Amino acid sequence: MNSTYLSEAGEESNYWNWNGFKIFWSVKGKENTHPMILLHGFGASSKHWRNNSCYFAKKGYSVYSIDLIGFGNSAQPGISEIEKLDNGVWCNQVSDFIKQVIRPQTSKKIVLIGNSLGSLVALTCAVYLKNEILSVVASPLPDPLLIRKKEPKINLIFEKFKTNLIKIFFKLFPLEIFLFLINKLGIIKLGLNAAYFKKDNVDKELIDIVRKPVLRKTAARSLRAMCIGMLTRGNKLKATYLLEQLSYTKKVPFLLLWGEKDNFIPLFLGKKIANFHRWVELKIIPNSGHCVHDEDPSLFNKISHEWIRDLKTF
């Protein structure tokens, strides 16, 4: 059964039943005209958009934030329940969310804004749900390491062997102990300090946003499904292929927002994407790291809003 409650800030929070899994989502400015979905990055949740959703709601957007399955307060299924978790699965989740939650409210196309893994999910949706998507803001976009004009020939026997080896490894690897040590040794804070150029932004609230889902008993099994899913997915779910497909039609306008000091996904990769795909617009945020939307929310919000506003399709 779905449940709904309203916060003091006027944010409506809900649990949605998706294929038998409990999914957490929230909306601000539900009565507004233009729908927008915010997609968080790896290890984060919809709460990571704490400094963005109110701004966009005030600008006239219905701002939906969703916890991708496996993250935040959403269900954390294992391989016995869902087999794998990858950007194809998360794209399907977004697709059904649009049909079941947003479409009863409006028929307008959706603006997608993603951070890191959420950007990859947004790109996947732009390709496979192109008739539903108005535009994409990706900040930054992971997975572009092998940008090339032609895909290499794949040895099917080797690929099958590699897939089976990955599955065996992660089924045997003690991720439960791994997550326990991450929490006890304070690695989460170290990781956030590596991701953020502005260290003062790594506050208790941010650490809790990442830490609490890790403490759930189901976290390790879901991480196992993610590791297997992301490492064994086919080329049609990789950014190289997805960008190439999107370039054929240029139907969905695409903005890259990249932190100049991003240590996780270096800026040169963003420049490489923009140089290879001229229809992609790249804007660089100085003195910012991997999570521009949380490190420099005012600048991120302003640039994103003005770019979307100025689109001829908006």
* pLDDT digits 0-9 by tens, 9-51: 557 889 999 999 999 999 999 999 899 999 999 999 999 999 9
> CATH number for the domain including 128?
3.40.50.1820
pLDDT tens for residues 220-238? 999 999 999 999 999 999 9
Tell me if 188 is assigned to some domain: yes
Query: Has residue 84 been placed in a domain?
Result: yes
- Does the structure show a pLDDT above 90 at 249? no
Can the peptide bond before residue 297 be classed as cis, meaning omega within 30 degrees of 0?
no
What's residue 251's pLDDT? Answer: 83
Q: Is residue 183 part of a domain?
A: yes
Number of domains in the chain: 1
What is the mean predicted confidence (pLDDT) over 63-81? 97
- Give the containing element (helix H, strand E) for 58: helix 53-58
For residue 119, being part of any structural domain is answered with yes
Q: Which residue in 138, 124, 89, 132 sits closest to 307, CA to CA?
A: 138
Cα(260)–Cα(230) distance, integer angstroms: 26
Is residue 241 very low, low, confident or very high in pLDDT (cuts 50, 70, 90)? very high
The rounded distance, in Å, linking the Cα atoms of 216 and 209 is 13
User: The domain containing residue 248 runs over which residues?
Assistant: 3-309
314 within some domain: no
